[in-house]
Amino acid sequence: MKSDEIFQGLKDLAEKMNINVSLQNFRNTGIPVQSGFCKIKNKRHCIIDKNLRIHKKIQVLAGCLAKMPIDDIYIVPAIRDVIQRNSKIE
């Protein structure tokens, strides 16, 4: 699968799991900000710097999904492999 397809597959999975995926411009914040998972008012979010390269966006989103219970969800094998590879990256 191409990187864009993998990222879209991860975004689709996140949506099914009620995780909001948001691409934001961190360059304008004026403070150091890091992409990743957070909860705001009991809603789950994965906020990603839109200026990152696609492979890094995949790594961040897969890392967020790796923290969720996904064993009982059907996931395309290529997407599941990406999540498993990124489950050990912090």
Please name the residues in contact with 77: beta carbons below 8 A apart, sequence gap of 6 or more.
none
Q: Give the start-to-end residue ranges of the domains of the chain.
A: 3-85
pLDDT of 34 over the 90 cut: no
Residue 86, CA atoms < 13 Å, CB-side half-sphere: 22
pLDDT of 3 over the 90 cut: yes
> Bigger pLDDT: 44 or 31?
44
Radius of gyration of the CA atoms of the chain, in A: 13
Lowest mean pLDDT among 12-16, 27-31, 64-68: 27-31
pLDDT at 84: 92
Phi–psi pair at 70, nearest 5 degrees: -115, 5
CATH number of 3-85: 3.30.2010
- The percent of residues above 70 in pLDDT, for the chain, comes to 96
pLDDT at 89: 58
